[in-house]
Amino acid sequence: MPELPEVEVVRRGLARWITGRTVAEVQVLHPRAVRRQPAGAGEFAALLTGATFGSAQRRGKYLWVPLDDGETSMLGHLGMSGQLLVQDPATPDETHLRVRLRFTDGGRELRFVDQRTFGGLAAEQAEAGDPEATPVSLAHIARDPLDPRFDDAAFAAALRARRTTVKRALLDQTLISGVGNIYADEALWRSKLHYDRPTESLTRPLAATLLANAREVMNAALAVGGTSFDSLYVNVNGESGYFSRSLDAYGREGEPCYRCATPIRRAAWMNRSSYYCPRCQRVPRPR
């Protein structure tokens, strides 16, 4: 699934391929793809038609593209299986094509393709007059660790103030954004922390180490993923294939830990999985 590094690759592709282009026509082929649009597909199409795109922005796994009216943005999230493709109009429709944007220049069109429709698009207002304004609906989303304005000390303090467990906190978008199940497990493995470790038991240095490791693993993935964005379309192939070879914990059930050779375990966790080394990442003592 697209994680933060893949979304950043998409952002760069959008910036390259749709900036400065004017929307001629909007087709919503599946209403669920614009379910976040308060008044539905008609409103989505009306707000975008005739607008010219600015340069794509990102926070965590959210993308948005400012419009030339200075206050509206097209907001997008890829969910689990979403793709934003810049395709030649002659290219046959994809099986799960949900939204199509045609441009006045008659060139490549923007397509939102999403099998599971966990992702979606919307057009909405941001605060006028602020060039760095984020869409209103993203106000509660924390900055991500690759954001230069991410506040490390404030994160550590907020993390330690929570009364929950560390992996839940890592996936909490109001605390830190852009960390999904894969990178949460990777950051915990690098930090030798068990996913059920209570946040209140984290020392300041441990919190700092965990953040540094999350940032490192995402930067490493971005460095590898950056090679694919020069293609002719904005591509997310739904598999983080180029980075999967570099994963230390996620998806490695039964395979030896790279530190101590103990087989990696997979545990059911919140209707999904957590991968961890039972020796390096000890279960916290119940209290």
Partner DNA sequence: ACGTTTTCCTGAGCGC
Partner DNA sequence: TGCGCTCAGGAAAACG
Question: Does 272 help bind DNA (rule: CB under 7 A)?
Answer: yes
- Name the residue nearer to DNA (CB basis): 9 or 141: 141
Query: How is residue 278 written in tokens?
Result: 């039972």
Shortest distance (Å) from residue 116 CB to DNA: 4
Shortest distance (Å) from residue 204 CB to DNA: 18
- Of 11, 58, 59, 61, catalytic: 61
Q: Is 167 a catalytic residue?
A: no
Query: How is residue 209 written in tokens?
Result: 């180490």
Binding mask 33-62 for DNA (x = CB under 7 A): ---------------------------xxx
Shortest distance (Å) from residue 169 CB to DNA: 8
Q: Pick the closest to residue 134 from 58, 216, 243, 224 (CA basis).
A: 58
Sites for DNA among residues 72-111 (CB under 7 A): 77, 79-80, 95-96
Judged by CB under 7 A, the residue of 115, 125, 201, 228 near DNA is 115
Instruction: For residue 229, give every residue at least 6 positions away whose Cβ sits within 8 Å of its Cβ, in sequence order, or none.
Output: 9, 10, 12, 13, 16, 235
Question: Does 224 help bind DNA (rule: CB under 7 A)?
Answer: no
Question: Does 267 help bind DNA (rule: CB under 7 A)?
Answer: no
Range list of β-strands (E), 18-105: 23-28, 57-59, 62-66, 72-77, 82-87, 97-103
How close are the terminal C-alpha atoms of the chain, in Å?
36
What distance lies between CA 217 and its chain's CA centroid?
Answer: 14
